[in-house]
């Protein structure tokens, strides 16, 4: 699922990322300093209040960050900015159940001298549950705006780290000047994962589980001591203060859930085993392989956030490629396809089993989320269940269903407005409302690729670019080369691009060839940032001279390509 190698992308944009600071301002104020109004009325729209419940030709009134009214024949405030929603659809904005959105990875902890002791320093061992993600929040992070563009207004953001990085928070995905302004709720979860410390204890899964039990049992005992001392300290030894132990107190009393990052089925089962032994409230997140344990999840009442990541569908071999395969290779390819189908249909399987689940973007690429959701729907997930997972289910699992998850009077004005039913292929988001602030999003015109003037818009004109090309461009690490494959499929140009290091190919988007100019774009997520590269240049015979442009960073670099022999 790579575009070019991550190493290459980082090399090209290392300097840019270190100095760039992107900011998209809300509202219509060109200075971005203040909102013209915080009162809005979206009229004549189809309002999807909740999965399976919608109102036609309805109005939504927003005032002071709240939904003031929803329905028909409403009185619109005189100071409201009126948005004609004819042909548009209003939804509750999405909620990300587990993410690093807005969080900045800290520097690695220095290797301690006493690394091989039974108890290395907690910060190196990754045992820092007393920490809060608030310390890692970077309000200038482009991940905030990128996820908002995908329809999300709230993120359960957790800190980077190892075994116990710290507590997660619910943040609002708006553009603000201080982290406090986007903080909806802090310390809402204890985030944990089976990630050991390199060369130290606990360094493996068994060690982490043993350490977890030890920390929890100590917290249970110490909580009793703390409570007794607080009630009547006379005659009781003063308890020692320990930040790690105290961080477990809300978990021991079931006031705060434990959220495990567990992608594989064995990790999910291990987390559930710990919960069964210790009794804490459990949510499993970033889940990628749960189709075989759906009944277990249902029976245990375990909260689930499925990963929004989706592996590439294996390509079916045909013709000569299929004939050249050995029987063993054919069986291997069949198993790959079987796994992919199970992966793509697991949301439908969990839904059918009655498991309440939301979604997590922890390992997902932002600009692939809509496509991945559509793949799940194509593989059996009901659209209403998909919407529930993105809204009301996520709100319920995170304990915010009284203020979020549906379009109802009195709830926070977190709304997504699309130009068509969201779960249709060409639907695009026109407006986002986050905590009552409006964000205008650009509707991209659908391009008819390959159609330009009379000569080059035809199949004959497109033949100049169809085929295999070898490209190269310079990075700080030297020259990078790879292949571009361009096809003409029924008059529409499509293509893919791959690097020479064996990375997987990635589809070109919006491929056009007009008046001798070949233009397309490619996207990837680099270090939590969704980066769009636009490549455009002139084709002369078998030579392509182009520029790779990253508009977000106001940067470009030349790219050259030569059409392969025989093409």
Is the same domain home to 358 and 454? no
Domain that holds residue 328: 94-398
Contact, 366 vs 150, CB < 8 A?
yes
- In tens digits, the chain (567 residues) has pLDDT values of 334 544 444 444 443 333 333 333 444 443 344 456 789 999 999 999 999 999 999 999 999 999 999 999 999 999 999 999 999 999 999 999 999 999 988 877 777 666 666 677 888 888 999 999 999 999 988 899 999 999 999 999 999 999 999 999 999 999 999 999 999 999 999 999 999 887 778 888 999 999 999 999 999 999 898 888 888 888 888 888 899 999 999 999 999 999 999 999 999 999 999 999 999 999 999 999 999 999 999 999 999 999 999 988 887 777 766 777 788 887 888 898 999 999 999 999 999 999 999 999 998 888 889 999 999 999 999 999 999 999 999 999 999 999 999 999 999 999 999 999 999 988 999 999 999 999 999 887 665 443 433 334 444 578 889 999 999 877 655 677 888 999 887 778 888 888 765 555 678 888 888 878 899 888 765 544 556 788 988 888 899 988 887 765 556 788 899 998 866
- 411 vs 17: CA distance, rounded Å: 37
Tokens of 566: 């025989």
Instruction: State the SS3 of 146-193.
Output: HHHHCCEEEEEECCCCCCECEEEEEEECCCCCCHHHHEEEEEEEEEEE
- Say whether both 310 and 200 belong to one domain: yes
Taking Cα atoms as reference points, which of 309, 319, 271 lies closest to residue 293? 271
Q: Residue written as tokens 């790219």?
A: 559
Half-sphere exposure of 486 toward its Cβ, with a 13 Å CA cutoff?
31
Question: 216 and 279 in one domain?
Answer: yes
What's residue 377's pLDDT? 97
Report yes or no: 57 and 42 within 8 Å, Cβ to Cβ.
no
| 394 and 503 fall within a common domain | no
Neighbours of 52 (CB within 10 A): 12
Please report the pLDDT score of residue 114 as a whole number.
Answer: 64
Does residue 57 form part of some domain? no
How high is the pLDDT of residue 450?
38
Q: Is residue 409 part of a domain?
A: no
Give a yes or no: residue 30 inside a domain.
Answer: no
Exposure class string for 239-251: b at 16+ Cβ within 10 A, else e: beeeeebbbbbbb
| Gap between the Cα atoms of 426 and 446, Å rounded | 8
Give a yes or no: residue 124 inside a domain. Answer: yes
Q: Answer yes or no: do 333 and 190 share one domain.
A: yes
Q: Are residues 457 and 375 in the same domain?
A: no
Same domain, 16 and 131: no
Q: How many structural domains is the chain composed of?
A: 2
Asked if residue 47 is part of any domain, the answer here is no
268 and 385 fall within a common domain: yes
CA distance 128 to 248: 11
* Terminal-to-terminal C-alpha distance of the chain: 27
Give the separation between CA 92 and CA 112, rounded to whole angstroms.
48
Domain ends where: 398, 415, 438? 398
Report if residue 67 sits inside a domain: no
Which CATH number do you get for residue 505? 2.40.128.120
Regarding beta strands 152-157 and 94-99, do their DSSP bridges make them parallel or antiparallel, or are they unpaired? parallel
Question: Does the residue 73 lie in any domain?
Answer: no
Find, among 374, 373, 371, 377, the residue nearest to 507 by Cα: 371
- Asked whether residue 466 falls in the same domain as residue 338, the answer is no
Which tokens in the block code for residue 542?
């078998």
83 is a domain residue: no
User: 371 with 454, same domain?
Assistant: no
**Per-residue H/E/C for 310-322:** CCCCCCCCCHHHH
Same domain membership, residue 492 and residue 393 = no
CATH number for the domain including 107? 3.20.20.140
**Dist CA 161 CA 221 (whole Å):** 27
Both 201 and 277 in a single domain? yes
Report yes or no: 51 and 392 within 8 Å, Cβ to Cβ. Answer: yes
288 closest CA partner among 360, 391, 214: 360
Q: How many residues can be counted in the chain?
A: 567
Q: What is the pTM of this model?
A: 0.75
């Amino acid at each position: 699922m790579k575009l070019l190698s991550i190493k290459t992308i980082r090399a090209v944009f290392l300097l840019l990322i270190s100095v760039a600071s992107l900011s998209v301002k809300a509202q219509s104020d060109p200075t971005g300093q203040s909102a013209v109004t915080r009162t809005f009325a979206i009229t004549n729209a189809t309002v999807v209040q909740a999965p399976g419940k919608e109102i036609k030709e309805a109005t939504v009134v927003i005032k002071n960050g709240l939904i003031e009214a929803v329905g028909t024949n409403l009185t619109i405030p005189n100071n409201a900015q009126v948005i004609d929603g004819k042909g548009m659809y209003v939804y509750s904005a999405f909620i990300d159940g587990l993410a690093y959105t807005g969080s900045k990875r800290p520097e690695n902890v220095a290797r301690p001298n006493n690394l091989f002791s039974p108890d290395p320093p907690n910060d190196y061992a990754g045992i820092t549950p007393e920490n809060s993600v608030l310390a890692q929040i970077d309000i200038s992070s482009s991940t905030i705006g990128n996820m908002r563009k995908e329809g999300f207004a709230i993120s359960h953001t957790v800190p980077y780290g190892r075994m116990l990085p710290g507590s997660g928070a619910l943040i609002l995905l708006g553009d603000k000047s201080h982290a406090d302004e986007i903080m909806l709720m802090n310390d809402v979860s204890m985030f944990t994962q089976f990630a050991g410390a390199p060369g130290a204890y606990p360094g493996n899964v068994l060690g982490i589980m043993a350490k977890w039990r030890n920390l929890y049992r100590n917290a249970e005992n110490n909580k009793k001591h703390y409570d007794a001392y607080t009630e009547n300290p006379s005659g009781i030894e003063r308890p020692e203060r320990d930040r790690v132990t105290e961080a477990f107190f809300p978990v021991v009393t079931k006031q705060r859930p434990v959220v495990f990052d567990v992608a594989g089925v064995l990790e999910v089962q291990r987390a559930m085993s710990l919960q069964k032994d210790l009794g804490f409230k459990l949510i499993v997140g970033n889940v990628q392989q749960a189709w075989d344990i759906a009944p277990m999840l249902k029976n245990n009442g375990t909260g689930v956030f499925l990963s929004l990541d989706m592996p590439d569908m294996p390509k079916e071999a045909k013709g000569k490629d299929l004939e050249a395969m050995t029987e063993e290779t054919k069986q291997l390819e069949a198993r790959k396809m079987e796994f992919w189908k199970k992966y793509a249909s697991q949301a439908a399987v969990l839904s059918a089993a009655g498991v309440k689940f939301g979604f997590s973007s922890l390992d997902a690429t932002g600009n692939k989320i809509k496509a991945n959701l559509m793949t799940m729907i194509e593989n059996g997930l009901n659209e209403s269940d998909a919407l529930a997972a993105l809204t009301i289910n996520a709100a319920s699992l995170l304990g915010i269903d009284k203020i979020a998850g549906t379009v109802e009077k009195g709830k926070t004005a977190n709304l997504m407005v699309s130009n068509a039913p969201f779960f249709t292929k060409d639907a695009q988001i026109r407006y986002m409302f986050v905590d009552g602030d409006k964000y205008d999003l650009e509707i991209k015109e659908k391009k008819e690729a390959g159609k330009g003037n009379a000569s080059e818009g035809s199949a004959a004109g497109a033949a100049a670019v169809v085929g295999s090309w070898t490209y190269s461009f310079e990075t700080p690490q030297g020259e990078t080369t790879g292949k571009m494959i361009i096809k003409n499929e029924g008059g529409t140009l499509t293509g893919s691009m791959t690097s020479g290091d064996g990375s997987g190919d990635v589809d070109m988007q919006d491929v056009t060839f007009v008046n001798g100019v070949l233009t397309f774009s490619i996207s990837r997520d680099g270090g939590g940032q969704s980066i769009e590269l636009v490549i455009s240049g002139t084709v002369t015979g078998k030579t392509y001279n182009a520029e790779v442009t990253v508009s977000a960073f106001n940067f470009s670099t030349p790219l050259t390509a030569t059409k392969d022999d025989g093409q």
